Every structure is written in structure tokens, then in C-alpha cells.
């Protein structure tokens, strides 16, 4: 059955080719199922090979299967060859197993994506590369897988390429990994020049031919490679950004499989590490421990659900490096497996949450989701218990082993490493509890208005007050016009009164000057009468008009007052709106959300729509993998129980791959129990602390989530500043140097020639006479030289 090994990489490769050429035609969801089945076939094959391998005596569990010669030049020869041994098959089992589940999950998660089939093209290629990485029988084919998974990671991170941030994250991942890859390549070269072979068979059996010095350099070079791929300090910066990819990618590549390649590589090369000087183990352990602690502190203050898990992954990988450093290869692989289960589970769970919340990734916008997504919540809680180190869930067993070996390690500063390890464990339990509370318990903040919506609502309210004021302004203007009109009326009336008194006077004069005897006297007296009567009439009209003016003025004043008050209101509302802060404060489960009584009626549609659409549980293609992974995360501890020699299944299984380089525990049983109980107590304390902060509001979370943590201690930022600043300037200097100095010298040289040419032109004026003269002089000179030689 072991001969079937070649099918393990072949299936996903076939799936890749099939989908590459026909994926678009197969479409959704067939393309996804095809990919899933090819990955599944690979898992079944691996299981068969595993059974075959387990059936052999442990000393014979080492098979090389050559497919064909890849590169053979002089003394250098490498094959496309597979090495089937317990380590490689263990890796293949969980890569293809977890891989198949994630393939299936993706069918649901990528539903409706325009590039649905392309996603599965990349995913199958990734699995094939990953299998070559672990199943290779030489360093070069491992490197093919190593860079292959890096390329797939690049393609998948930038899968949604129209967002510049995703594209940048993909590029960053590839380039950062390449820094590590230089270490890998140089390590390969050094091994080749020292051992004349880079086949594992030779390296593993002949590593004692290396001098400790060379072995140390080799170890450090491969450590550099491993630190790149497994996101350790100082090369971890790409992994948090890699969360830009679709969530199944984060689960498969950036949690369960690819990022563990570094741990695998160092485990694979354990005889070389054993041959190296002792300080190399210390370097590996310290890099691991510091990475674990560093990333755990950062995870505490992240608000993006996937960023928490990303930093958590960096931190857990640090544990594995710590284990390698202290010679605890089995615990490293053990933790790698349990981590693959629970971290894949957590990522897929977070993907299910994101899917159910229409793309929301901010935990401040979650909470109370267990009501809406019970399966996701339940499985996520299993994952949480596993990673937090709660027995009997799997994470407890593997992490405890690492801490035990660290305590027991005979390298300098071993106990300090243990302290770092236990503090990290505390932090892990704390931030994961925080995540579970913020996501699944308490208020459903999803319904609360977002910062943007609140800002929008205030803007709406300001607008509405403003339009209100505009109405008032209009009314006021009308009233003003009315007053004007009334005033004009008064003026008219006043003129009428004046005219009537004039009329009266002229009538009186006329009467006085005339005599009664006159014919017209009677007429005049009549006119006088009329004029006398008209006077009071006009005056009455005037006073009426004046009254009207008063009334108009009153109305105007009233309106003006109203207008002023409305304007004051605008200022007030604007002030309020300006004072609304974008609240980025940490939240807890009970956070009631912002006070919206002032703006309730002004909230935008997105808010009101959301009130009607509840978060929903994901489809079965997504929940089934969750349930399977939850079961695995719960019980995977069974692989290597510490109670008796006979329950160390994984240790016995991996023995042939470790060549006796596994550290031998010297601690007593009491110490083991003491450490385990202490670790459980720490986890319990951290969980309790997280509950009291985030569930019961006993402590203000902003006192815990420091700025430095939220900004990842500014490491990434300083890299960016450096490469964007001096780095870029240096490259620009090169470009300038090339244009100005190097090319300038060439052009200067040619200008010199053209000057020379122009000068020489003077010697060739085109006059036959002067040429003839030249020929004559030349001939004479040559002839005299010959004559001189003869005599």
C-alpha cells in the first residue's frame, strides 16, 4: 500500500489541472465538489499508506519512492522522489484531512463569487504543493513545495485583487517569505558542499559528518527560512496582513498547514540540529518564546475577529519553535496537529460569523450571536476551550507537553523560557475568552448603529434643522415684504390726509373770498362741506393703515425671533454633531451601544434594514466541517496522553523519524503533575479575569487594551517606514546613479568622440590638393622608414 504514495500529490495535482482547463465550464458548485473530492481521494490514499506503514516494524518505516530524475548535474543529483516515513505521513494526513474539510466549507463560503472555480484551482494547487513539501525525499523538492505554497498563498491573499490592500498584502507575504527562502537556499548549498548530497536519506544518516560549526550555520540558515514561512520574529509581519484573503484560505494556509512548514522542516532536519552547537537550540527556543509572548500581547487588543486569530497563530507557532529549540520534537508535532484542528475550527467559525453578518469582521459589532448561530457558537466554544488549555480538550495536552519539556530543558535560561511560555498561556486563555464573549455573548451589537451610521444620522439631523431654518427664513422674508407693503400704504394714506387738508384750506379760502351774492357761492359752501367731511375720513383711513403696519411689524418681529431661535438650534445641533466622537473604545459584552435617542429618526437605511435582517446560521457545507473539526479539537489529545509510556502513541509513531534526538525527560512524576495543575490554574485564572472584564464590567477594558498592543508594538509600522523611506530613497539613488553617472559616463565618452570628430573634420576640407599633399608626405615618410631599415 505504501507504493500508492505517489498518488497523494497526484490527486490534487490532477484536480488542479482539470479545474485549470475546465473549471469555468464546470462552474458553481461542481468545480468546488471536484476539488473537494480530489483532495478527499488524496486523504484516503494517505490513510491507506498510513495503514501500510503502521503495519511494518518501526525500524523499516522509511521508504523512498523515486518518480523520475529532476536535476542531475555532475555530482549533484536530485529526484522527484517521495520519502514515506511516519513524519511525512503524519503531515499528509492532517493536510489532506483538514484540507478536504476546508475545501467543502469553501463551497458554501465562496458561494456567488464570480471567480468561484478559480478559487478551487488555487486551493488544489496549494494542497499539491504542500504535499510535495512534506513528502519530498530531498531538500530541493521540499523547496519546490515551499515556494509553491508561497505562490498559492500570494495568489489567494490577493484573490479579491480589486482592493489595493489585498494586493499589497499578497505581495508582502511573498517578498517577506523570500527573505527566509534565501536562508533555505543557502542552507541547502552549505549542506551540499559539506555532504555532497541534499537527499534526506544522506542528510539524516550522515549528519555526524558535519562539523558542529557547519551544522550550526546550517541550522541558523534553515531557521531563517522557517521563520519566514512560519511567521516568527522578525519576519512575522506578513501573516496578520494575509488575513485579507478569503477566510477558508486563512484557515487552511495561514493557520493549519503552510505556516507549520517551518516547524516541519526543523523537525525533519533534527539530526542536523542535534549535530549543531548547543546555542542553536537556545536561539530557536528564544525566537519561538519571544514570538509567542509578543503575538499574544498583540492579540489581546485586536478588534478584527480574524486579526486576533492571526496573532494567535503567530503565537502558537512560537510555541512550536520553542518546543523544537528544547528538543521536544514530538510535542511540537503534537501541538501542530491539535493546533491545525482547533485553529482551523476557529478560523472557519469566524468565517461563518463573517458570512452570517454580511462581511462584518469587527468584534465590536458582534456579540450575542449564539442566539442566531448556535452551531457556529457551539463549535467555536469547543475551539476556545482547546486553545485556552482547558482539559480534556486537545490544546491542553499538547501545550502542557511543550511547557513540561521547556521546564525540563537543559539549555541555558530554560526556566525563563518556561515563564515566558506560561505567561503566554495565560494571555492566550485571556484573549480567546475575550473573543468568545465579544462575539457570542451579551448584547447583539450588530443591530446597534455603527459609527458611520451615527455620523450619517447626525448629518441627516443637521440637514433637517437646516431645511427647517430655510422655511423660517422664507416666512420671515414674506412678512418683511408685508410690512413694507403696509408702510407704503401708510405713506399713501398720509398723502391723502395732507391733500384733504389742503383741499379744506383752499375751500375755506374760496368761501371767504367769495360773497354770498355770487352765483357760485352755494357751490363753494357745498365743496367746503365736502372737504370738511373728507378730512376726518382720510385720517381714519390713515390710522387704520398705521395699525396694520404695527400688526405687520409685530408679525415680523415674531418671525424674526423664531428665526433666531432656529438658527441657534442649527448651531446647537451642529455643535452636538461635531461633538459626536467616533467611539473606538474597547467594548464589553454589556456595552449598550451609543445613545441614539437624539437621532433615532435620522438613522440611515442601512441601519433600519439591518433591524429586519437577523444574523443567520451558515449552510450545511459550512457547518459540517465545523462539527467534524470540533470533534477532532476536542479529542485529539488522545494521540499522545502523558499518563503512561503506552499512551504516548504519537511519540512511538514518530520515533523512526527522530533518530533518538528527542529530548529525554528527567522530571519526576510529581513535577509533571505540579506543572500541569499550575497550568490549569493559570488558564482558569485568565478565563475568570476575562469574564470579569468583558462580561461583568469589573475593570475598564481600555486599561488592558493598550495602544502598543493594538498597534502590534509598532514593529510593522517601523518596517514600513524604513522601507518606504530610506529604503526607497536608496533604490531611487541607484536609479539616479544609473541614469546620471553610469550612462552619463558613456554619453560623455561619446561626446568626447564627437568633439574629436568635429576637430578632425578640419583636416578633411574636401580639397583634393591637400589630400594629395598628405599622400605625398605620408609616402615619403614610409619610404624613408623602409630605406632606414634596409640600411
Partner 1 sequence: MYSFLAAEAEKVDSFSLLPAMIAVPALTAVVIALLPKSRADYLKLAALVGSTIAGAMSFYMLIKFQVNGDFQFVTKQDWVPDLGLSLFFAVDGISLFLVVLTGLLFPIAILTTEPHHDPKPYYVWLMLLMAGSLGAFMALDLLLFFLFFEVVLVPMYFLIGGWGHGNRVYAAMKFFLYTMAASALMLVGIIGLAFASADATRADGTRLGITFDVVELAENHTLGTTASTIIFLTFALAFAVKVPLFPFHTWLPDAHTEAPTAGSVILAGVMLKLGTYGMLRFGLYLFPTVVRDLAPIFLTLGVVGILYGAAVATMQKDLKRLVAYSSVAHMGFIVLGIFALNSQGLEGAVLQMVNHGISTGALFILVGWIYERRHTREIAALGGLQKSAPKMAAVFTIVMLSSLGLPGLNGFVGEFLILLGAFSSAQWWAVLAAFGVILAALYLLWAYQRSFHGPASGDNATMADLKLSELLGIAPLIILIVFLGIYPQPVLDRISPAVDRLIEHVDSRVDDYEEQEPVPTDRTGADGLVAVAEKIHAEAKDGHSEDEDHSDEESQGDGGTESAEAESTERSAAEISEEDSE
Residues in contact with partner 1 by the rule CB under 8 A: 68-76, 80, 140, 143-144, 146-148, 151, 154-155, 158, 161-164, 166-168, 170-171, 174-175, 178-179, 181-182, 185-186, 188-190, 192-193, 730-732, 734-735, 738, 742-743, 745-746, 750
Least distance from C-beta 734 to partner 1, angstroms? Answer: 4
Least distance from C-beta 72 to partner 1, angstroms? Answer: 6
Least distance from C-beta 246 to partner 1, angstroms? Answer: 16
Least distance from C-beta 43 to partner 1, angstroms? Answer: 23
Instruction: Compute the CA torsion angle 587, 589, 595, 599 (nearest 10 deg).
Output: 90
C-alpha cell at 542: 390713515
β-sheet bridge partners, residue 84: 63
Chain-centroid distance, C-alpha 36: 26
Least distance from C-beta 77 to partner 1, angstroms? Answer: 10
Least distance from C-beta 23 to partner 1, angstroms? Answer: 12
**Which one, of 587, 594, 342, 573, lies nearest residue 447 by Cα?**
594
Least distance from C-beta 264 to partner 1, angstroms? Answer: 17
Least distance from C-beta 284 to partner 1, angstroms? Answer: 22
Measured from the CB atom, the residue of 178 and 472 that comes closer to partner 1 is 178
Instruction: Kindly give the pairing relationship between strand 76-84 and strand 63-73.
Output: antiparallel
Least distance from C-beta 24 to partner 1, angstroms? Answer: 10
Least distance from C-beta 30 to partner 1, angstroms? Answer: 20
Least distance from C-beta 473 to partner 1, angstroms? Answer: 42
**Which one, of 316, 295, 222, lies nearest residue 716 by Cα?**
295
Sorted by sequence, the CB contacts under 8 Å of residue 326 that are 6+ apart come out as 281, 285, 405, 406, 408, 409, 411, 414, 417, 663
Contact at 8 Å (CB) between 323 and 288?
Answer: yes
Measured from the CB atom, the residue of 41 and 154 that comes closer to partner 1 is 154
Measured from the CB atom, the residue of 78 and 469 that comes closer to partner 1 is 78
Reduce the DSSP state of residue 642 to 3 states and report it: coil
CA distance 157 to 248: 11
Least distance from C-beta 171 to partner 1, angstroms? Answer: 4
Measured from the CB atom, the residue of 506 and 740 that comes closer to partner 1 is 740
According to DSSP, residue 391 is labeled T
Least distance from C-beta 123 to partner 1, angstroms? Answer: 16
**C-alpha angle 491-495-501 in degrees, rounded to nearest 5:** 145
Sole residue written with cell 475568552:
433
Measured from the CB atom, the residue of 120 and 286 that comes closer to partner 1 is 120
**Which one, of 48, 59, 114, 112, lies nearest residue 85 by Cα?**
59
Measured from the CB atom, the residue of 478 and 761 that comes closer to partner 1 is 761
3-state class percentages of the chain: helix first, strand second, coil last, to nearest 5 = 80, 5, 20
Measured from the CB atom, the residue of 189 and 378 that comes closer to partner 1 is 189
Measured from the CB atom, the residue of 209 and 598 that comes closer to partner 1 is 209
Measured from the CB atom, the residue of 18 and 190 that comes closer to partner 1 is 190
Q: Where are the beta strands (DSSP E) in 132-282?
A: none
**Which one, of 86, 689, 675, 550, lies nearest residue 334 by Cα?**
86
CA distances from 581 to 361, 438, 458 (A): 21, 22, 11
CA distances from 448 to 2, 52, 443, 452, 740 (A): 58, 57, 9, 11, 60
β-sheet bridge partners, residue 83: 64
Reduce the DSSP state of residue 82 to 3 states and report it: strand
Contact at 8 Å (CB) between 38 and 12?
Answer: yes
Measured from the CB atom, the residue of 174 and 334 that comes closer to partner 1 is 174
Measured from the CB atom, the residue of 143 and 264 that comes closer to partner 1 is 143
CA distance 443 to 365: 10
**Which one, of 657, 660, 663, lies nearest residue 200 by Cα?**
657
Maximum pairwise Cα distance, the chain = 174
Least distance from C-beta 190 to partner 1, angstroms? Answer: 8
* Radius of gyration of the chain from its Cα atoms, rounded to whole angstroms: 43
Sole residue written with cell 375751500:
507
Contact at 8 Å (CB) between 140 and 120?
Answer: no
Measured from the CB atom, the residue of 703 and 758 that comes closer to partner 1 is 758
Measured from the CB atom, the residue of 551 and 747 that comes closer to partner 1 is 747
C-alpha cell at 266: 526543523
Least distance from C-beta 65 to partner 1, angstroms? Answer: 17
CA distance 685 to 525: 118
β-sheet bridge partners, residue 63: 84
CA distance 5 to 3: 5
Measured from the CB atom, the residue of 70 and 521 that comes closer to partner 1 is 70
Measured from the CB atom, the residue of 86 and 148 that comes closer to partner 1 is 148
Amino acid at each position: 500500500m505504501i507504493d500508492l504514495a505517489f498518488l497523494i500529490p497526484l490527486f490534487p495535482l490532477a484536480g488542479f489541472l482539470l479545474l485549470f482547463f475546465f473549471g469555468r465550464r464546470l462552474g458553481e458548485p461542481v468545480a468546488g465538489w471536484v476539488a473537494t473530492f480530489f483532495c478527499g481521494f488524496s486523504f484516503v490514499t494517505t490513510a491507506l499508506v498510513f495503514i501500510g506503514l503502521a503495519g511494518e516494524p518501526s525500524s523499516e518505516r522509511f521508504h523512498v519512492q523515486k518518480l523520475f530524475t529532476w536535476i542531475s548535474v555532475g555530482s549533484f543529483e536530485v529526484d522527484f522522489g517521495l520519502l514515506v516515513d511516519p513524519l511525512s505521513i503524519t503531515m499528509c494526513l492532517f493536510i489532506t484531512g483538514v484540507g478536504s474539510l476546508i475545501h467543502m466549507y469553501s463551497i458554501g463560503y465562496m458561494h456567488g463569487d464570480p471567480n468561484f472555480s478559480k478559487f478551487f484551482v488555487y486551493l488544489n494547487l496549494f494542497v499539491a504543493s504542500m504535499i510535495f513539501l512534506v513528502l519530498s525525499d530531498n531538500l530541493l523538492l521540499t523547496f519546490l513545495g515551499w515556494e509553491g505554497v508561497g505562490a498559492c498563498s500570494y495568489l489567494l491573499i490577493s484573490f479579491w485583487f480589486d482592493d489595493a490592500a489585498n494586493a499589497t498584502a499578497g505581495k508582502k507575504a511573498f517578498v517577506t517569505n523570500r527573505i527566509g527562502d534565501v536562508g533555505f537556499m543557502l542552507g541547502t548549498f552549505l549542506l551540499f558542499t559539506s555532504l555532497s548530497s541534499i537527499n534526506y536519506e544522506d542528510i539524516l544518516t550522515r549528519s555526524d559528518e558535519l562539523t558542529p560549526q557547519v551544522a550550526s550555520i546550517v541550522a541558523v540558515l534553515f531557521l531563517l527560512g522557517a521563520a519566514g514561512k512560519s511567521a516568527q520574529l522578525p519576519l512575522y509581519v506578513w501573516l496578520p496582513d494575509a488575513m485579507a484573503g478569503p477566510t477558508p484560505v486563512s484557515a487552511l494556509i495561514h493557520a493549519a498547514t503552510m505556516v507549520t512548514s517551518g516547524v516541519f522542516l526543523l523537525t525533519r532536519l533534527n539530526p542536523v540540529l542535534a549535530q549543531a552547537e548547543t546555542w542553536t537550540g537556545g536561539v530557536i527556543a528564544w525566537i519561538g518564546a519571544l514570538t509567542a509572548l509578543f503575538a499574544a500581547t498583540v492579540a489581546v487588543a485586536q478588534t478584527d475577529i480574524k486579526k486576533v486569530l492571526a496573532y494567535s497563530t503567530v503565537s502558537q507557532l512560537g510555541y512550536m519553535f520553542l518546543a523544537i529549540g528544547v528538543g521536544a520534537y514530538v510535542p511540537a508535532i503534537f501541538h501542530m496537529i491539535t493546533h491545525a484542528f482547533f485553529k482551523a475550527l476557529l478560523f472557519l467559525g469566524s468565517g461563518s460569523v463573517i458570512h452570517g453578518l454580511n462581511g462584518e469582521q469587527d468584534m465590536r459589532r458582534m456579540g450575542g450571536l449564539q442566539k442566531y448561530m448556535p452551531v457556529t457558537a457551539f463549535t467555536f466554544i469547543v475551539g476556545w476551550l482547546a486553545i485556552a488549555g482547558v482539559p480534556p480538550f486537545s490544546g491542553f495536552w499538547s501545550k502542557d507537553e511543550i511547557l513540561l519539556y521547556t521546564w525540563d530543558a537543559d539549555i541555558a535560561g530554560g526556566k525563563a523560557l518556561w515563564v515566558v511560555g506560561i505567561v503566554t498561556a495565560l494571555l492566550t486563555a485571556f484573549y480567546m475568552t475575550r473573543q468568545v464573549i465579544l462575539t457570542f455573548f451579551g448584547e447583539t451589537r450588530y443591530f446597534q448603529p455603527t459609527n458611520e451610521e451615527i455620523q450619517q444620522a447626525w448629518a441627516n439631523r443637521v440637514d433637517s434643522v437646516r431645511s427647517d431654518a430655510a422655511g423660517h427664513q422664507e416666512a420671515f422674508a414674506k412678512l418683511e415684504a408685508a410690512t413694507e407693503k403696509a408702510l407704503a400704504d401708510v405713506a399713501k394714506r398720509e398723502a391723502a390726509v395732507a391733500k384733504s387738508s389742503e383741499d379744506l384750506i383752499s375751500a375755506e379760502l374760496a368761501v371767504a373770498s367769495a360773497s354770498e351774492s355770487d352765483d357760485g357761492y352755494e357751490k363753494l359752501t357745498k365743496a367746503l362741506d365736502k372737504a370738511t367731511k373728507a378730512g376726518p375720513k382720510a385720517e381714519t383711513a390713515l390710522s387704520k393703515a398705521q395699525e396694520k403696519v404695527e400688526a405687520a411689524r409685530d408679525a415680523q418681529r415674531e418671525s424674526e425671533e423664531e428665526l433666531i431661535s432656529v438658527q441657534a438650534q442649527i448651531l446647537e445641533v451642529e455643535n452636538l454633531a461635531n461633538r459626536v466622537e467616533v467611539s473606538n473604545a474597547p467594548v464589553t459584552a454589556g456595552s449598550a451601544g451609543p445613545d441614539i435617542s437624539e437621532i433615532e429618526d435620522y438613522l440611515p437605511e442601512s441601519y433600519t434594514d439591518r433591524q429586519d435582517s437577523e444574523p443567520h446560521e451558515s449552510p450545511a457545507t459550512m457547518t459540517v466541517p465545523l462539527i467534524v473539526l470540533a470533534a477532532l479539537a476536542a479529542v485529539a489529545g488522545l494521540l499522545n496522553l502523558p499518563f503512561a509510556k503506552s499512551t504516548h502513541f504519537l511519540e512511538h509513531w514518530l520515533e523512526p523519524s527522530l533518530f533518538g534526538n528527542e529530548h529525554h525527560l528527567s522530571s519526576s512524576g510529581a513535577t509533571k503533575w505540579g506543572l500541569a495543575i499550575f497550568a490549569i490554574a493559570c488558564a482558569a485564572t485568565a478565563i475568570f479575569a476575562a469574564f470579569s472584564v468583558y462580561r461583568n464590567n469589573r475593570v475598564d477594558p481600555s486599561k488592558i487594551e493598550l495602544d502598543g498592543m493594538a498597534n502590534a508594538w509598532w514593529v510593522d509600522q517601523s518596517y514600513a517606514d524604513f522601507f518606504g523611506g530610506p529604503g526607497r530613497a536608496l533604490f531611487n539613488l541607484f536609479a539616479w546613479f544609473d541614469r546620471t553617472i553610469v550612462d552619463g559616463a558613456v554619453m560623455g565618452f561619446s561626446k568626447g568622440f564627437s568633439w574629436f570628430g568635429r576637430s578632425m573634420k578640419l583636416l578633411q576640407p574636401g580639397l583634393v590638393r591637400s589630400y594629395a599633399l598628405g599622400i605625398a608626405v605620408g609616402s615619403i615618410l614610409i619610404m624613408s622608414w623602409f630605406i632606414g631599415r634596409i640600411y
